[in-house]
Structure 1
Amino acid sequence: MSLSISEWTMANDIECSHLTASNSSFPRHTHDEYVISANLTGTEEIWLHGKTELVRGGEITIYNPATIQSSLFGEDKVEFLSVHIPQSLLRQVSVDHNLRSDHCAPVLKEGVLNNPALFSALCHYKRTLNDDDQEQNLLWLLGALLEEPAREQEQSQRPVQLALDFMREHLTRKIHLDTLAQVSGLSKFHFVRLFRQHIGMPPLQYHMQLRLLEARNQLRKNDNALDVAIRLGFYDQSHFINTFRKMMGITPHHYSLSLNASQPMSQALTR
């Protein structure tokens, strides 16, 4: 029997766990929170509402508060992530963003779901718990979880375009999520979900991409890396270097050196 907890943390009042299991089980039990799990590898057998179902890699399980369920793990190792979301949090989000008018906690569709958007959002939320942009990752997760009622909301491209225009006009500083939501005319909840839907990545990360692309353009002009960092509003050079390297796989200094080294060859080819 093997049940291993790789990590168990709490952020935003949400408990997050990363577990592996084989030849083990969770007997019938309940929780007072919503429990959403992403099965990374292996096959889990669950019991829910008198029926058994298999949960395979890439699938999601959802349990409402007070639901009775159990899990069984065979010889092959099963790895999964779980979040425990308080009823009060989901109820408040639903009320604040006009998803419900009765001030009751939502009842989610339970059981095994093949929902790539929710799977991706859960994995991303768990992976980025220590990031500065934690709030938008939580909103993305909750938006994916409440996708069905949220689908009735405005799906126009215009709010996203307004935010994109604002981002491109403000490459010299970090922009806050509240500002972008205000520019788009949406709540933060709906803005993060709509932006992710249209662009494919969270808004703050996308704005950082735009700033780094501008940094690359300036480095191509032989601008000094420190000058570029200051001009684009990075709070120190090491932050600029680490962020640039994370995106490009190379430091700004070595990027400039590489360009300069290849320039004579490029000039020779154009003669």
Structure 2
Amino acid sequence: MKKETRTVVYDDELRLEAYRFEGTQQPFPNHFHEYFVIGFVEDGERCLFCRNQEYVIKKGNIVLFNPGDNHGCVQNDGGAFDYRGLNISRTVMSDLAEEVTGKRTLPGFSKNVIFDEEVKGYLRPLHEMIMTGSGEFGKEESLLLLLALLFQRYGQPFERCIPECREEVEKACVFMEQHYAEHIYLDQICRYAGLSKSALLRAFTKSKGVTPYLSLQNISIGEAKKRLEQGMAPIEAALSTGFSDQSHFTNYFNSFIGLAPGIYRDIFKTGAGGNQNGE
């Protein structure tokens, strides 16, 4: 069986992450990100659950996730999965959208899974240039051409990508964003939101696609990523974002992000890729 490798690179010029997972069999639980994801399946077959829909993704498929799109996946064919992707923050995407469209309006993707040879023709070479550290202006050109094509064919105002949410659910989210580093309880969230436990669980899961607890874990992991990007030690990032110990933090971080926290931090220290077996 092909040896598993996981490589991540941060491109300072484009201000985005590029990563490549080869030979992986790890399932990823239902989760979400606060950034855009553009990914391409090189090989393998997976069952993808995204925004309460189920897809089978395989070689040649492109995946498009908006910030907040809940998703998870498991291997579907008994083999391994080869995948390459780009992570783009909201701020950077707004800048790029303004460059492409002339309007500083955050875009959204209308589809989560597509098969588009022309998009692939821009995405794969762009990804290779980022992974190999190319400094040619063709890299930025390819990114802008890729996004122009995606916006034209699959773009929509970002607001349309956000499901309608009850006021109480949004209040629950605000409470968790303000107190994620503390040891909080469901009772506290419910009191702040003004709903019973069962009512909050039903409304929250229907609206967000994940439970309040899983949403809290996502918030903590997202904040931990920011600290690691600034060079904070994994144990400090863990304790400052509400995790009880580094082991607990490492397990969650790896299951959500696919890399150990120390390796993720190191890509911002060196500007080079790291693989999962490093410490």
**What TM-score does the superposition give when structure 2 sets the normalisation length?**
0.48
Q: Which has the larger radius of gyration?
A: 1
Q: Higher RCO, 1 or 2 (CA under 8 Å, sep at least 6)?
A: 2
